[in-house]
Amino acid sequence: MTGERYEADRLHGLSKAGKPLLVRYDLAALAKAVSKKALAERSGGFWRYREFLPVRHAKNVVELGEVMTPLVPLPRLARALGAGADTILVKDEGRLPTGSFKARGLALAVAMAKELGLAHLAMPTNGNAGAAMAAYASRAGMRSTVFCPADTPDVNVREIALQGAAVYRVNGLINDCGKIVAGGKEAVGWFDLSTLKEPYRIEGKKTMGLELAEQMGWELPDAIFYPTGGGTGLIGMWKAFEELEAIGWIGARRPRMIAVQASGCAPIVKAYEEGNEHAELWPNAHTIAAGIRVPVAIGDFLILRAVRESGGFAIAVEDDAIVAAQEAVAKEEGLLLCPEGAATFAAYRQALKDGRVGPQDRCLLFNCATGLKYPMPPAELAIDRHRPIDYAAIANAKAP
């Protein structure tokens, strides 16, 4: 925001102006240190991009069996929508440790916290980020404290607690939880790992862009639909593409970056449509997609810049459309999306219908977590084995 520079290998939160810090690299040296061929010979998940990451010493890497997450096409739904074959791809981040893409950012943040000598980490969460921090902090032998809105799904709260964090429910939203974290820095002595309030979570999320480019043969898709709360991943991917071009691995062509939000919490969409650089606090935020229920994002201007520079847009979808999208992808393609991931398919259908994307555009949708963590519709069919079985009824039965 202001262009100030800060020394590396030091503990940093926000800048003096209260804005996020972005990690910069010696890209000329990076280009000499690794090649596409050398990268292709490596196994494993996002730690294979070590030259692009800030951890200097291998002993500080914190691993939990990370994998390269797959690109899953939706061919039946593409045909039904009149789109071209292999035009809809889902990057399924639910295959990562703790079942979500939060593993990327928190693995890097915890590793750097270890490298910089921290012992106690704290953060607000809508669920998945807290689980990732708890897991990686425990793996690193660090203490963690988490605050989440009172209506956070019980499975998330229990997961956070089981993985070693002290977790508190708060009668408010994630920004209210963030205020508690900020208020406890002096009183308790923890380090605030909130979204974009330190420089390293974004470096972990950046690996989504690196991984995507490699999986697609260093050719990027036409558009990326990204579920946007704090927006770390969208900002991180945009940064990854910039770095890849600087070292000559890709050209200047970029995907259109599309920020997907829920109609009940759409501050980025409102700011985009009004031509503003910053987003106002969204009042009475509500949506079934808890991960994108973020009423205010400290990196709002970075999200909006990436969207506009790429020729993309911000789009909001109703909760009913999210539920319908989740059901369609599960029943037609066998892929169980989380609500935030389903929001991207709902947004794709909406954008295809209104012409903002074309039927031949290759679009990448992010499923940010496994759908197994979320409530599912009831399945109540039953059989009494002691009575005659009506096989005709079974033959005609349909999924609910």
* pLDDT, tens digit (0-9, with 9 covering 90-100), for 313-367: 999 999 999 999 999 999 999 999 999 999 999 999 999 999 999 999 999 999 9
Residue 60, token pair as written in the block: 């500080």
Query: What secondary structure letter does DSSP report for 222?
Result: S
Contact 207, 243 (CB under 8 A): no
The whole-number pLDDT of residue 108 equals 98
The whole-number pLDDT of residue 398 equals 78
The whole-number pLDDT of residue 191 equals 96
Give the closest residue to 189 by CA, choosing from 142, 120, 143. 120
Half-sphere exposure for 75 (CA within 13 Å, toward CB): 2
The whole-number pLDDT of residue 377 equals 86
Instruction: Report whether pLDDT(143) > 80.
Output: yes
Q: What is the mean pLDDT of residues 295-324?
A: 97
Contact 74, 342 (CB under 8 A): no
Q: What is the mean pLDDT of residues 185-190?
A: 94
Instruction: Report whether pLDDT(240) > 90.
Output: yes
Residue 364: CB atoms within 10 A of its CB come to 25
Query: What secondary structure letter does DSSP report for 62?
Result: -
The whole-number pLDDT of residue 106 equals 97
The rounded Cα 107 to chain-centroid distance in angstroms is 13
Q: How confident is the model at residue 263 (pLDDT cuts 50, 70, 90)?
A: very high
Contact 347, 225 (CB under 8 A): yes
The whole-number pLDDT of residue 1 equals 86
Query: What secondary structure letter does DSSP report for 336?
Result: -
CA distance 135 to 117: 18
Residue 180 has phi, psi (to 5 degrees) of: -65, -40
- Boundaries of every domain in the chain: 71-97+201-373
Overall pTM > 0.85: yes
Residue 290: CB atoms within 10 A of its CB come to 27
Scanning the chain, the segments in alpha helix (DSSP H) are: 27-33, 36-40, 75-80, 102-115, 128-140, 154-162, 174-188, 201-215, 232-246, 267-274, 300-309, 319-333, 339-354, 391-396
Spell 258-289 as b/e; 16+ CB within 10 A means b. bbbbbbbbbbbbebbeeeeeebeebeebebbb
Q: How confident is the model at residue 119 (pLDDT cuts 50, 70, 90)?
A: very high
Give the closest residue to 366 by CA, choosing from 242, 230, 209. 209
Least confident of 73-87, 95-109, 368-382: 368-382
Q: How confident is the model at residue 400 (pLDDT cuts 50, 70, 90)?
A: low
The rounded percent of the chain whose pLDDT value lies above 70 is 100
**CATH 3.10.100.10 fits domain 71-97+201-373:** no
Q: How confident is the model at residue 375 (pLDDT cuts 50, 70, 90)?
A: confident
Beta bridge partner(s), residue 366: 91
